[in-house]
Amino acid sequence: MSNSTPSATNATFRSAFILLIMLFFMWGFITSLNDILIPHLKAVFDLNYTQAMLVQFCFFGSYFIMSIPAGRIIEKVGYSKGIVIGLVVMGLGCLLFYPASILVYYPLFLFALFVMASGITMLQVAANPFVAAVGPPETASSRLNLSQGFNSLAHTIAPAFGTFLILTDKSEDLAIRAQAVQLPYIGLAVALLLIAGLFAWVKLPSIQHNANSEVSLNDTIWQHRNLTFGVLAIFLYVGIEVSIGGFLVNFFGESHIAGMPEEIAGNYVSYYWGGAMVGRFIGSALLQRMRTERLLVISSIGALSLVGITLFTSGYIAMGAILLVGLFNSVMFPNIFTLAIKGLGKFTSRGSGLLVMAIVGGAIIPVVQGLLADQFGVQASFAIGLICYGYVLFYALKGYKAQ
């Protein structure tokens, strides 16, 4: 490395960064497809809402179960090989959709989702440090924001893709309808394995282990109130964001909302995630003139208000309100994350790991909302959003303060 010219080093970093953006796009695309998979499997297997939300439970549960093992694997094999392993595991998970659709067996679909998400967890652990490292430290935040922008782009286009290939199949034969997932997920498996081969072939720049990651966890880390409250804020925020996305198709199909068939309603899910993409860029600009906690207050109040409108109105007003929640969701994760790790010092790396594990909220909250939907109806189930966004508002006002 010492003999490399600055221009050669910069070119290597740029090439690595372009490859890494592909990873953010792919895992965003696959994650967003769950919003289409939920109503599809619900219809095929005649599931209630609680059973259908096991899709998100198995998918996001892997973040909690696999984060620590993924970190240990990467410590042994390195970041580059860790990325390759993550891509291969994702590809295998996608391939499992084929036997699941042939056997028409719901537990096998859930296992496939868990395997696929385990690979994504590996990528999450490996790719974020890589993005921060492939370039000057002072522009690391900019690179991470750009990478997340491509992740949001994937979230925006995936529902339309999935709707066209999956929800448009209205065959009376449930076995044939179950097989509608074969083409998209086998196609994704091929793409993932090709990208894995590319990463195995290309020599990526090496990055150094952060010494902070070797700090042993003890009670001291829990003395940071902004972190402990922040872990719960991430849990609830991710949970409600994922849960809302998973209920949109069925909500828009309600007769007093829009009465849309699935093949039309699925396209509107893109507006929810598209709002998050637009909001990310708006938030990036606003943060240059506004404090992080202030923007978090505004976004949480906006989300709370829109959830309230969704609960107490009907028709296109309720539909538009819940779609606009995506716009206010956009800045919540990075703002909570930034406030939560502030002042952690030597515990920053470990604190970051705890916040990533809190993404398991995406597994728990959808199941809770599913229980509410089964008991009180889909519209009433969105009341859980008042609790989740209410806590985020508390965190933005008081919870983020260290003492």
CATH, residue 377: 1.20.1250.20
Residues 290 and 401 in one domain: yes
Tell me how far apart the alpha carbons of residues 261 and 252 are, in angstroms, rounded to a whole number.
8
Indicate the pLDDT class of residue 144, thresholds 50, 70 and 90. low
Most confident range, picked from 26-40, 175-189, 295-309 = 295-309
Q: Which of 176, 202, 228 is the last residue of a domain?
A: 202
Residues 3 and 110 in one domain: yes
Q: Please provide the size of the chain in residues.
A: 403
Q: Which of 202, 227, 244 is the last residue of a domain?
A: 202
Instruction: Give the residue numbers spanning the domain of 250.
Output: 210-403
**Domain count of the fold of the chain:** 2
Residues 128 and 225 in one domain: no
Residues 224 and 172 in one domain: no
Indicate the pLDDT class of residue 208, thresholds 50, 70 and 90. low
Residues 82 and 221 in one domain: no
Residues 190 and 309 in one domain: no
Residues 38 and 168 in one domain: yes
pLDDT tens digit sequence for 73-113: 877 888 788 899 999 999 999 999 999 999 999 999 999 99
Q: What percent of the chain has pLDDT over 90?
A: 48
pLDDT at 171: 74
Choice between 262 and 171, residue whose per-residue pLDDT is larger: 262
Residues 243 and 189 in one domain: no
Indicate the pLDDT class of residue 140, thresholds 50, 70 and 90. low
Residues 300 and 228 in one domain: yes
pLDDT at 1: 42
Most confident range, picked from 45-59, 127-141, 331-345 = 45-59
pLDDT at 209: 44
Least confident of 25-29, 196-200, 203-207, 266-270: 203-207
Q: Which of 202, 220, 246 is the last residue of a domain?
A: 202
Residues 169 and 246 in one domain: no
Mean pLDDT for 278-303 is: 87
pLDDT at 213 over 80: no
Residues 189 and 221 in one domain: no
Residues 198 and 263 in one domain: no
Q: Work out the mean pLDDT of the chain and round it to a whole number.
A: 85
Tell me how far apart the alpha carbons of residues 212 and 215 are, in angstroms, rounded to a whole number.
6
Tell me how far apart the alpha carbons of residues 256 and 97 are, in angstroms, rounded to a whole number.
35
